[in-house]
Amino acid sequence: MKIIIVGAVAGGASCAARLRRLDETAEILMVERGPYVFSANCGLPYHIGGVIEKESSLLVANENTFRNQVVIKVRTRCEVIGIAPEMKTVRLRDVATGEVTTESHNKLVLSPSASTIRPPQPGIDLLGIFEVRMVPDARVIHDRFLRRRGGLDRRQREDAPAAWQRRSTCTRTRTPVTTRARG
Protein backbone atom coordinates (compact mmCIF):
# COMPACT_ATOMS: atom_id res chain seq x y z
CA MET A 1 0.00 0.00 0.00
CA LYS A 2 1.46 3.33 -1.07
CA ILE A 3 -0.12 6.51 0.24
CA ILE A 4 0.69 10.03 -0.91
CA ILE A 5 -0.33 12.97 1.27
CA VAL A 6 -0.45 16.47 -0.19
CA GLY A 7 0.42 19.06 2.48
CA ALA A 8 2.68 18.24 5.43
CA VAL A 9 1.77 20.70 8.13
CA ALA A 10 -1.15 20.26 10.55
CA GLY A 11 -3.60 17.99 8.75
CA GLY A 12 -1.12 16.18 6.50
CA ALA A 13 1.42 15.36 9.19
CA SER A 14 -1.26 14.26 11.68
CA CYS A 15 -2.80 12.05 9.03
CA ALA A 16 0.59 10.53 8.18
CA ALA A 17 1.29 9.72 11.85
CA ARG A 18 -2.15 8.15 12.26
CA LEU A 19 -1.77 6.09 9.08
CA ARG A 20 1.56 4.77 10.32
CA ARG A 21 -0.12 3.62 13.53
CA LEU A 22 -2.83 1.85 11.53
CA ASP A 23 -0.44 0.22 9.08
CA GLU A 24 3.21 -0.44 9.91
CA THR A 25 4.08 -1.57 6.41
CA ALA A 26 2.47 1.11 4.24
CA GLU A 27 4.75 3.30 2.15
CA ILE A 28 3.83 6.86 3.08
CA LEU A 29 5.05 9.92 1.20
CA MET A 30 4.21 13.47 2.25
CA VAL A 31 4.62 16.21 -0.34
CA GLU A 32 4.94 19.80 0.85
CA ARG A 33 5.25 22.91 -1.30
CA GLY A 34 6.81 24.95 1.48
CA PRO A 35 10.16 24.48 3.20
CA TYR A 36 8.85 23.10 6.51
CA VAL A 37 7.04 20.07 7.83
CA PHE A 38 4.67 20.15 10.81
CA SER A 39 5.45 23.73 11.82
CA ALA A 40 3.54 25.27 14.73
CA ASN A 41 1.68 27.91 12.75
CA CYS A 42 -0.51 28.76 15.75
CA GLY A 43 2.62 30.15 17.38
CA LEU A 44 3.31 32.62 14.56
CA PRO A 45 1.61 35.60 16.26
CA TYR A 46 3.69 34.92 19.41
CA HIS A 47 6.86 34.73 17.35
CA ILE A 48 6.08 38.03 15.65
CA GLY A 49 5.28 39.53 19.05
CA GLY A 50 8.61 38.29 20.43
CA VAL A 51 7.17 35.88 23.02
CA ILE A 52 8.54 32.91 21.07
CA GLU A 53 11.97 34.29 20.31
CA LYS A 54 13.47 31.73 17.99
CA GLU A 55 11.94 30.72 14.69
CA SER A 56 13.38 27.26 15.28
CA SER A 57 11.01 26.82 18.24
CA LEU A 58 8.15 26.73 15.72
CA LEU A 59 9.72 23.90 13.77
CA VAL A 60 8.50 20.92 15.70
CA ALA A 61 9.76 18.24 13.31
CA ASN A 62 11.63 17.93 10.04
CA GLU A 63 12.14 15.43 7.23
CA ASN A 64 14.63 13.43 9.31
CA THR A 65 12.28 13.18 12.29
CA PHE A 66 9.60 11.62 10.12
CA ARG A 67 12.01 9.37 8.27
CA ASN A 68 13.88 8.10 11.34
CA GLN A 69 11.08 7.87 13.89
CA VAL A 70 8.07 6.77 11.87
CA VAL A 71 9.53 5.76 8.48
CA ILE A 72 7.57 8.37 6.54
CA LYS A 73 9.16 9.98 3.49
CA VAL A 74 8.83 13.73 3.09
CA ARG A 75 9.54 15.89 0.07
CA THR A 76 9.60 19.59 0.91
CA ARG A 77 9.73 22.37 -1.68
CA CYS A 78 7.82 20.04 -3.92
CA GLU A 79 4.30 20.70 -5.15
CA VAL A 80 1.59 18.57 -6.62
CA ILE A 81 0.62 20.16 -9.93
CA GLY A 82 -1.66 17.50 -11.33
CA ILE A 83 -3.75 14.55 -10.24
CA ALA A 84 -4.85 11.71 -12.52
CA PRO A 85 -7.38 9.72 -10.46
CA GLU A 86 -7.97 7.10 -13.16
CA MET A 87 -4.23 6.37 -13.40
CA LYS A 88 -3.70 6.82 -9.64
CA THR A 89 -0.76 9.13 -10.24
CA VAL A 90 0.21 12.64 -9.25
CA ARG A 91 2.56 15.02 -11.01
CA LEU A 92 5.15 16.64 -8.77
CA ARG A 93 7.17 19.75 -9.46
CA ASP A 94 10.41 20.49 -7.63
CA VAL A 95 9.97 24.12 -6.60
CA ALA A 96 13.70 24.89 -6.82
CA THR A 97 14.58 23.20 -10.10
CA GLY A 98 11.20 23.04 -11.85
CA GLU A 99 11.77 19.35 -12.57
CA VAL A 100 8.48 17.48 -13.01
CA THR A 101 8.10 13.83 -12.06
CA THR A 102 5.20 11.41 -11.77
CA GLU A 103 4.50 9.34 -8.68
CA SER A 104 1.96 6.53 -8.41
CA HIS A 105 -0.12 5.66 -5.36
CA ASN A 106 -2.87 3.41 -4.06
CA LYS A 107 -4.43 6.09 -1.88
CA LEU A 108 -4.21 9.87 -2.07
CA VAL A 109 -4.87 12.24 0.84
CA LEU A 110 -5.41 15.94 0.12
CA SER A 111 -4.57 18.29 2.98
CA PRO A 112 -3.52 21.48 1.16
CA SER A 113 -5.54 23.90 3.27
CA ALA A 114 -6.78 26.99 1.41
CA SER A 115 -5.35 30.17 0.03
CA THR A 116 -5.57 33.40 1.97
CA ILE A 117 -8.45 35.71 1.22
CA ARG A 118 -7.47 39.34 0.75
CA PRO A 119 -10.64 41.32 1.31
CA PRO A 120 -11.39 43.87 -1.41
CA GLN A 121 -10.63 46.87 0.80
CA PRO A 122 -9.11 50.09 -0.54
CA GLY A 123 -5.36 49.96 0.01
CA ILE A 124 -5.21 46.21 0.45
CA ASP A 125 -2.22 46.00 -1.92
CA LEU A 126 -0.18 48.66 -0.13
CA LEU A 127 3.24 47.74 1.20
CA GLY A 128 3.00 46.90 4.87
CA ILE A 129 -0.04 44.66 4.60
CA PHE A 130 0.98 41.09 5.26
CA GLU A 131 -0.45 37.61 5.25
CA VAL A 132 0.52 35.40 8.16
CA ARG A 133 0.00 31.77 7.32
CA MET A 134 3.39 30.13 7.42
CA VAL A 135 6.80 30.51 9.01
CA PRO A 136 8.33 32.39 6.03
CA ASP A 137 5.49 34.96 6.29
CA ALA A 138 6.53 35.79 9.86
CA ARG A 139 10.14 36.08 8.74
CA VAL A 140 9.15 38.77 6.23
CA ILE A 141 7.54 40.82 9.02
CA HIS A 142 10.50 40.25 11.32
CA ASP A 143 12.98 41.31 8.68
CA ARG A 144 11.02 44.37 7.73
CA PHE A 145 10.16 45.77 11.16
CA LEU A 146 11.86 44.10 14.05
CA ARG A 147 15.42 43.25 13.03
CA ARG A 148 15.83 46.66 11.47
CA ARG A 149 15.10 48.23 14.84
CA GLY A 150 17.46 45.87 16.63
CA GLY A 151 14.73 43.60 17.99
CA LEU A 152 12.60 44.08 21.08
CA ASP A 153 13.93 44.54 24.61
CA ARG A 154 12.43 42.53 27.49
CA ARG A 155 9.83 45.13 28.39
CA GLN A 156 8.71 45.52 24.76
CA ARG A 157 8.49 41.75 24.43
CA GLU A 158 6.21 41.52 27.44
CA ASP A 159 4.05 44.35 26.10
CA ALA A 160 3.96 43.05 22.53
CA PRO A 161 0.85 40.84 22.70
CA ALA A 162 -1.18 43.59 24.37
CA ALA A 163 0.17 46.18 21.98
CA TRP A 164 -0.74 44.07 18.98
CA GLN A 165 -4.21 43.55 20.37
CA ARG A 166 -4.76 47.24 20.94
CA ARG A 167 -3.80 48.02 17.37
CA SER A 168 -5.66 45.21 15.66
CA THR A 169 -8.95 45.50 13.85
CA CYS A 170 -11.22 42.58 13.19
CA THR A 171 -13.28 42.64 10.03
CA ARG A 172 -16.03 40.24 9.05
CA THR A 173 -17.32 39.35 5.63
CA ARG A 174 -21.06 39.08 5.20
CA THR A 175 -20.81 35.58 3.80
CA PRO A 176 -18.91 32.98 5.83
CA VAL A 177 -15.79 31.75 4.04
CA THR A 178 -17.00 28.13 4.08
CA THR A 179 -20.28 29.04 2.37
CA ARG A 180 -18.38 30.91 -0.32
CA ALA A 181 -16.03 27.99 -0.86
CA ARG A 182 -18.98 25.60 -1.30
CA GLY A 183 -21.01 27.94 -3.48
Ligand X SMILES: Cc1cc2nc3c(=O)[nH]c(=O)nc-3n(C[C@H](O)[C@H](O)[C@H](O)COP(=O)(O)OP(=O)(O)OC[C@H]3O[C@@H](n4cnc5c(N)ncnc54)[C@H](O)[C@@H]3O)c2cc1C
**Residues whose CB falls within 8 Å of the CB of residue 102, separated by 6 or more in sequence, listed in order:** 89, 90, 91, 92
Would you call 180 helix, strand, or coil by DSSP? helix
- Smallest separation, CB 121 to ligand X (Å): 19
- Alpha-carbon distance values, 89 to 26, 82, 83, 85 (Å): 17, 8, 6, 7
Binding-site string for ligand X from residue 128 to residue 147, where x marks contact by CB under 6 A and - marks none: ----xx--------------
- Smallest separation, CB 160 to ligand X (Å): 15
User: Is 62 near ligand X (CB under 6 A)?
Assistant: no
- Smaller CB distance to ligand X: residue 113 or 156? 113
CB contact burial 7-42 (16+ within 10 A = b; e otherwise) = bbbebbbebbbebbeeeeebebbbbbbbebbbbbbe
Binding-site string for ligand X from residue 142 to residue 181, where x marks contact by CB under 6 A and - marks none: ----------------------------------------
- Smallest separation, CB 113 to ligand X (Å): 3
Query: Would you say 13 and 119 are in contact if contact means Cβ atoms under 8 Å apart?
Result: no
CA–CA distance, 19 with 68 (Å, rounded to integer): 16
- Report the residue from 59, 91, 112, 142 that binds ligand X according to the rule CB under 6 A: 112
Residue 78: active-site member: no
Spot the catalytic one: 15, 42, 78, 170.
42
Going by their DSSP bridges, the two strands 73-75 and 2-6 should be labelled as unpaired
Point out which residues bind ligand X (CB under 6 A). Answer: 6-7, 9-12, 31-34, 41-42, 44-45, 79-80, 111-113, 132-133
Q: Annotated catalytic sites, by residue? A: 42
